[in-house]
Amino acid sequence: EKHHCTFCGLNGLGMGFRSKSPERIRSELSELASRHRITFFEATDNILDMRHVQSLLGAIAESREDYRFFYEIKANLTQPQIRALHRGGVRWVQPGIESLNTHVLTLMHKGATMLQNVRLLKWCRYYNIRVSWNLIWGFPGETEDDYTAELDVLHSLTHLEPAHACTRIWLERFSPYFTDRHTYPLHTLHAEASYHHAYPITNLNHDKIAYFFDYQMDNTLPDSAHTNTQTFITNWQTRYHSNHRETLTYRRTSDSILIDDTRHNTPTGTTEYHGPLARAYEYCTDTMRTPTQIATHLNHTVTPDEIRQAFTHPCQHRFMLTENDRYLALALPTNPNW
């Protein structure tokens, strides 16, 4: 059994997870491909069964069957898991990212962090997996500082796939926001206006049949607080889908890292890191690491405090992100063998 995110009304009749066996799915794929002469499939699952990453997608990869898939996934997948998705034919995902601010993610009960969400975007870009994701807002307890910090994070990610939309949350029947009125007081709650056009019936109580609702909720920010982020995302989308897509990549030698950066309409520049800093940076490529973990990886030839100091430069130049003393490198490897 799992719990809802605060805004989600899916699976209103129960949260029990059911999953077909890999053998049954393989049989159904074979039948559908043969009957309809197709090889692209969109899974209707709300979430990918993680057991299928190896048992299903791994088997498809080994069989060399050329199926291609869309899946909804959680955002906390690791680099090896994303590689396994790609090998198994997944070319399009919809992760539950929703925000790039850890406080806002906590408000919506996501169980993920900003760095986990960025890690997913990074490795999906590397493996050329399309990502459909959104930024949403309107959560009781959100602050202007949350979204100022989020916009700053976005400025570091223009080499990755942009969000598709930035919008206030819908209010859905069965969501905790709808059902827990004591914790989340709502005002002027009524059926979303379109229901009156779809069902123009006199004396029909649209509030009883609606799934989506118009509402007001206390302790949230006005729409105007998100104008800068919306404008940034629109411009990011334009650049990403143009012939001038921005890049941030790195090349590795025996003891150096060369970072090539074309973001933010700046001339192509290369930054070099050598020795322990180069090894520390690459150690933060697949996932986020703490200075203590990095020092251990480097056989304690440097201290955690020296690592923090050394990472000041890559963080200032948006080659890394850091949160809660954890660091994630943002440059994509040019090496195709990850």
Q: What's residue 19's pLDDT? A: 85
Rounded Cα–Cα distance for residues 94 and 46 (Å): 10
Per-residue pLDDT tens for 223-239?
999 999 999 999 999 99
Tell me the β-bridge partners of 40. Answer: 68
Q: What's residue 12's pLDDT? A: 54
Q: What's residue 9's pLDDT? A: 58
The answer, yes or no, to whether residue 313 has pLDDT greater than 50, is: yes
pTM of the model: 0.92
Reference 229, options 137, 103, 96, 294; nearest CA is: 137
Residue 115: band (very low, low, confident or very high) from pLDDT cuts 50, 70, 90 = very high
> What is the full DSSP assignment across 30-76?
HHHHHHH---EEE---SS--TTHHHHTHHHHHHHT---EEEEEE-TT
Q: Measured between alpha carbons, how far apart are the two ends of the chain, in Å?
A: 34
Rounded Cα–Cα distance for residues 225 and 233 (Å): 14
Per-residue pLDDT tens for 241-267?
999 899 999 999 999 999 999 998 776
Type of residue numbered 286: D
Rounded Cα–Cα distance for residues 224 and 168 (Å): 11
Rounded Cα–Cα distance for residues 326 and 321 (Å): 8
The answer, yes or no, to whether residue 190 has pLDDT greater than 70, is: yes
Mean local confidence (pLDDT), 213-220: 90
Chain-centroid distance, C-alpha 139: 18
Residue 1: band (very low, low, confident or very high) from pLDDT cuts 50, 70, 90 = very low
Q: What's residue 178's pLDDT? A: 86
Instruction: Report CA dihedral (105, 111, 116, 121) to the nearest 10 degrees.
Output: -70
Round the average pLDDT of the chain to a whole number and report it: 93
Q: Which two tokens stand for residue 170?
A: 């819908």
DSSP-based three-state secondary structure for 276:
helix
DSSP-based three-state secondary structure for 285:
coil
Rounded Cα–Cα distance for residues 303 and 295 (Å): 6
Q: What's residue 290's pLDDT? A: 99
The answer, yes or no, to whether residue 71 has pLDDT greater than 60, is: yes
Q: Which two tokens stand for residue 136?
A: 């949403």
Phi-psi category of 211—alpha, beta or left, where left has phi over 0 and alpha has psi -120 to 50? Answer: alpha
Q: Hey, how many other C-beta atoms are within 10 angstroms of the C-beta on 115?
A: 20
Task: Give the least confident one: 9-23, 48-62, 277-291.
Answer: 9-23
- Domains in the chain with CATH codes: 22-240 (3.80.30), 248-333 (1.10.10)
The answer, yes or no, to whether residue 183 has pLDDT greater than 90, is: no
Query: Residue with structure tokens 């490795």?
Result: 123
